[in-house]
Amino acid sequence: MQTISYHLFTPSLSYSFPNTHPSFPSLTHFSTHSATSRRNTLLRASTSESPASTIAVDNSDPAHSTAFVIRASNRIGLLQIVTRVFNVLGLNVDRATVEFDGDLFVKTFYVTDSHGNKIEDSDSLESIKRALAEAIGGEIDAGNGTVSVARSVANRGIVVRRPGLVERFGERRAKAERMFSLMDGFLKNDPLSLQKDILNHVEYTMARSRFNFDDFEAYQALAHSVRDRLIERWHDTHVYFKRTKPKRLYFLSLEFLMGRSLTNSVINLGIQDQYAEALNQLGFEFEVLAEQEGDAALGNGGLARLSACQMDSLATLDYPAWGYGLRYEYGLFRQVIVDGFQHEQPDYWLNFGNPWEIERIHVTYEVKFHGTVEEVDMNGKKQKVWVPGEMVEAVAYDNPIPGYGTRNAINLRLWAAKPSNQLNLEAYNTGDYINSIVNRQRAETISNVLYPDDRNHQGKELRLKQQYFFVSASLQDIIRRFKDAHNNFDELPDKVALHLNDTHPSLSIAELMRILVDEEHLDWNKAWDIACKVFSFTTHTVVAEALEKIPVDLLESLLPRHLQIIYDINFKFMEELKKKIGLDYNRLSRMSIVEEGAVKSIRMANLAIVGSHVVNGVSKLHFDTLKTRTLKDFYELWPEKFQYKTNGVTQRRWIVVSNPSLCALISKWLGTEAWIRNADLLTGLRDHIDNTDFHQEWKMVKKVNKMRLAEYIEAMSGVKVSLDAMFDVQVKRIHEYKRQLLNILGIIHRYDCLKNMDKNDRRKVVPRVCIIGGKAAPGYEIAKKIIKLCHAVAEKINNDADIGDLLKLVFIPDYNVSVAELVIAGADLSQHLSTAGHEASGTGTMKFLMNGCLLLATADGSTVEIIEEIGSDNMFVFGAKVQEVAQMREKGSISKVPLQFSRVLRMVRDGYFGHEDYFKSLCDTVEIDNDFYLLGPDFGSYIEAQAAADKAFIEPEKWIKMSILSVAGSGRFSSDRTIQDYAERTWKIDPCRCPL
């Protein structure tokens, strides 16, 4: 018998199995139970002339892998089919052999799970064999445990819909049998089935004629068909969670910047190719329809996008988790630029519906506000009772989040506010019907707007209402789910982990105490012990002044019982603290949850720290800042509480979805797609760092992405840019500490130098396309002036015939996730200019790093760790370090600024770019002794870093190597690593992988 060994490699990126025979079933979903007779008939017909084939499992291999032995007649595509079965199941094929046995091939695949271990669970082994059987057409032989490949059975995943759940006799049993049989098959994913589903949604969901519908209606129908498949996985996953009762994580965040869902969903489901083929046969292009989707902008910036990445990783890594947030009717405002000035318009993101959400009208909870707290006797004990003055209904909207390479799909539950069903008796009795309606409609404003303007009392009250509404509904849902399966709250810490994503959900601590003490009647000390064990907290703030505070008078009016609970928590904490540190009143005052002063306030961060068992920083530098400055007192008291997990971003969104060309290239040269689940494998790109063919393909991928971005820029702004220029990008929220102003002043300096060069010298200059994008908060006047200055400078530069293509400046309006996917893929250089010590993490650097964009950055936030990973030689680092910043401010050395800085600032102040009076206050912020963010002192170092970037860019081979090494070092900054770290060290949860 001849044996051939070989390594498996799939040349093109694919996420699903091809149908190699018209009668083969969908190969993305697998089954465990009954089959439809028609399907069996088709499979029998397709295999009746083939020799008998088998699938067997051998776990005796000493190399920690499981061998799947497939004995079958060879046919075109069989190897690819089997390989992709393993890929979609999230399994790794280490090696394979082929042996010839007469007319049959014996193919042995040595397989490990996603962690590199053998597969020993019997249920999983059986499921994998069934998946392979369905892929090539077969069924299990119960006698010997092999799979006979002659017939196939369809199944319904982990949902065992047994009629035994009802009475086992008579008419009821027959009806149940019929219902279960009708529900016992997955939706098929072959192109014909997909086309039928899409057209059915056109006619029956969109109520359009299937002979007359446009691209947007086609997108809606397509999205609903994808959602159907998400729901299958969503149901199965949560039934499995309910059955196995693992410890669950509940991730509480007021912001989730999800962006678009279509492409991400079909990639994670493993059916992008089938959908593309199905749509192409109908005369549509998948990419065109994907562009019809709007962004779900339910967040402001990095924190919100981080939450979305973490949900993706939680699903992919099979953790039993739920996300909770608010379903804002209006997302982050739309930014419209008129004459260079930012104007805000409402983001009507729900105007045309949201096909990805599932309204749960039966999942509602009453949320209370205002009122009084009364004391009543209950079994001889005094008990507090909150009598509310206002009631609001929280209605759940579920958004399935699929994992990649797994059947798991977890849930993001967003709450919308609706009027309470309770009758307003006072209004009814007085006949004031209209006022009753008006008051009820006020309830809906709670979930209307992301980030209400909280500069006045009404805005502060609405913001606090949002926070408590979200907290109350979420905790009621969590406690209800816990009580469904458990009757002893002592088990709560073993079954529930509650994570506070920043201080916005900190009221959860007081709310849980209210539920346990007031409603479940637990002893205070026992309730507090439980609360401290279930809560963990991540702070994204660097400076103490930015930590959230709530005025006591506002809290007392809106949530009177919670204020009492917070006072009780603080009193007990202060008493314990005095025993440990004595009567150090300054420190006691700093650590108190209640801040005395002109406006008495509750420090929400202090509440979160006192009530949590772990406090997390989001980068190594941030952690050091928390320990030594921001939370120094608490760290010295509880050093064991403090941890850090450097933030990460998901490579599935930021490479696979946003940069498919680069994705295919990486898979080709690594010889595997496993890096999509295990980003550490990206280090393998270093093995090809000197390969000229690799360099050429890398260069072509970047050129294609630059072409896409150039086309977008021209369509959006009318500015035509050269592909030979360096695309230099800074995109993020506009803020003084992020120093977009430093970038603009650097561009002015470059322009000034070009204007003063002769033509021969200009020919030696590296052409640049400078791209800036981001939104300024509506009330942030300095940030808005930075946007106006950018446009004023762009108007001067872009219309200067002397400069031509040597320098262009473009501002991208209404920057969002979808635009980011385009910009990040097409950038050559990206700038991250925050004054050292002001950026907690900075996930934007990671997205650019993953896409092979070189970084020009200060040593701030996670950039410090990026330098450790890829080396300072592969990026352009400038500016004062964290320790130097503090020293410069203390010693007043900020008065030393380069002459170039003074010159460009004078150009702005003197009206060279117009609007002299308007820019005066902006210039004042960076004048000597007023330059808090150190633009002047860092300017010389910044110009040197820009010159180093120019020098590297004119050496294409050097630039490409730096680009490749950037991607190769980005695996450490995957959110998968972050989430695994949280799961093991903070939440103490284990993966709970839904069987096939």
Long-range Cβ pairs for the range 778-783 (8 Å, 24+): 778/333, 778/344, 778/453, 779/453, 779/455, 780/734, 780/735, 781/921, 782/736, 782/921, 782/922, 782/925, 783/734, 783/735, 783/736
Closest CA to 422 of 389, 373, 465, 385: 389
Active-site residue identified among 247, 540, 739, 808: 540
- Spatial separation of the C-alpha atoms in residues 218 and 603, rounded to whole Å: 50
CB within 8 A of 639, min separation 6: which ones?
none
Token representation of residue 129 = 């064999």
CB within 8 A of 763, min separation 6: which ones?
none
**Helix ranges, 841-912 (H):** 844-850, 863-870, 882-891, 899-909
Token representation of residue 210 = 């299937």
End-to-end Cα distance, the chain: 35
Which SS3 state, helix, strand or coil, does residue 30 take?
coil
733 is catalytic: yes
**Helix ranges, 486-523 (H):** 492-495, 507-514
DSSP string, 384-430: EEEE-SEEEEEEEEEEEEEPSSSS-EEEEEEEEEEE-SS--HHHHHH
Contact 992, 406 (CB under 8 A): no
Closest CA to 340 of 798, 865, 667, 19: 798
Token representation of residue 484 = 């469904």
3-class SS shares of the chain: helix, strand, coil, % to 5: 50, 20, 30
832 is catalytic: no
- Report CA-CA distances (Å) from 278 to 2, 195, 204, 272, 656: 41, 6, 19, 10, 21
481 is catalytic: no
Q: Which amino acid type is present at position 982?
A: Y
DSSP string, 279-312: HHHHT--HHHHHTTPPPEEES-SHHHHHHHHHHH
Q: How far is CA 473 from the centre of its chain?
A: 22
Token representation of residue 239 = 């039934």
CB within 8 A of 625, min separation 6: which ones?
542, 617, 837, 882
Token representation of residue 765 = 């200059």
Active-site residue identified among 71, 334, 749, 847: 847
702 is catalytic: no
CB neighbour class for 891 (10 Å; exposed up to 12, middle 13-18, buried from 19)? exposed
Active-site residue identified among 738, 749, 972, 993: 738
The length of the chain in residues reads: 996
Active-site residue identified among 44, 600, 733, 909: 733
Q: How far is CA 47 from the centre of its chain?
A: 45
Partners of 502 in beta bridges: none
838 is catalytic: no
- Report CA-CA distances (Å) from 107 to 47, 95, 851: 19, 11, 37
State how beta strands 876-878 and 854-858 pair: parallel
247 is catalytic: no
Which SS3 state, helix, strand or coil, does residue 260 take?
coil
Active-site residue identified among 316, 541, 843, 863: 843
What H or E segment, with its residue span, contains residue 274?
A: helix 272-282
State how beta strands 66-73 and 104-112 pair: antiparallel
Contact 782, 821 (CB under 8 A): no
Please identify every residue annotated as catalytic: 540, 732-733, 738, 843, 847
